[in-house]
Amino acid sequence: MAFQRNQDAANFVVNGKKIVGVALNYMCAVKARNVPVPTEPVVFLKPTTSYLLEGCPIVLPKVFTKVAYEVELGVVIGSRCKNVSKADAMQYVGGYCLALDLTAQCNLTAARAKGGSWTLGKGFDTSTPVSRFIPMDAIDDPHTLPLWLKVNGEIKQSGCTADLIFKVPDIISYVSKYMTLEPNDLILTGTPHGSEPFKAGDVIDCGLADLATMHFKVKGE
């Protein structure tokens, strides 16, 4: 069943069943890291308990020593879909949001070295701050949107969704081959180059075109 398209952020945060993330999905990030361009989306999952709405602080877990920011376009699924073609994929988008995919780089570095899971480094509490819901009709083309992020007033990330390696239809089609996407599920589409660690006491501001901005204070656990 599709949701009502005039929902606000609280609805997809409360009702969503999963968060699907895509890693290494900006060409600028691939070039900066000097790594091969992915031939298919690199997908991971985050629990919905990681959601954070504006007005609450980002909390850095004491078990992590190095947590980085990643500003992203979020895609909110509008209706249930499985085995969707790229041509039909946008029919299943309900809307969008601005999002942060906070990442414990200390944990992921160790996990990659051992071939382990990314779950703890991606899914900790407050690791998915999100903006209000952005209706589908507010965005003509999700692949022409500037993204930016500042820490303590200094610009750290600046990019555009035109640089996405796998576009929104590519991601929906690919993920839906393996798992059913349901109303209020969120897809995090990846982050531009410039992701770096931040610390307790910092202030993070970010934005998506003229559609949404977010402001978060950071504290330690």
Indicate the pLDDT class of residue 111, thresholds 50, 70 and 90: low
State the chain's mean pLDDT as an integer: 92
C-alpha–C-alpha distance, residues 104 and 14, integer Å: 24
List the single range of 69-78, 99-108, 134-143, 175-184 with lowest mean pLDDT.
Answer: 99-108
Give domain 9-220's CATH number out of 3.40.50.720, 3.90.180.10, 3.40.50.880, 3.90.850.10: 3.90.850.10
C-alpha–C-alpha distance, residues 162 and 26, integer Å: 9
C-alpha–C-alpha distance, residues 71 and 103, integer Å: 11
Judge whether residue 6 has pLDDT over 50.
no
CB 184 within 8 A of CB 5: no
The pLDDT score that the predictor gives to residue 7 is 47
Q: What does the pLDDT look like over 155-194, one tens digit per residue? A: 999 999 999 999 999 999 999 999 999 999 999 999 999 9
Q: What is the dihedral of CA 140, 145, 151, 155, to 10 degrees?
A: -140
SS3 state of residue 149: strand
CB 4 within 8 A of CB 79: no
Q: Which two structure tokens, joined as six digits, stand for 219?
A: 């504290």
The pLDDT score that the predictor gives to residue 116 is 66
Q: What does the pLDDT look like over 191-216, one tens digit per residue? A: 999 999 999 999 999 999 999 999 99
Question: How is the chain split into domains, by residue range?
Answer: 9-220
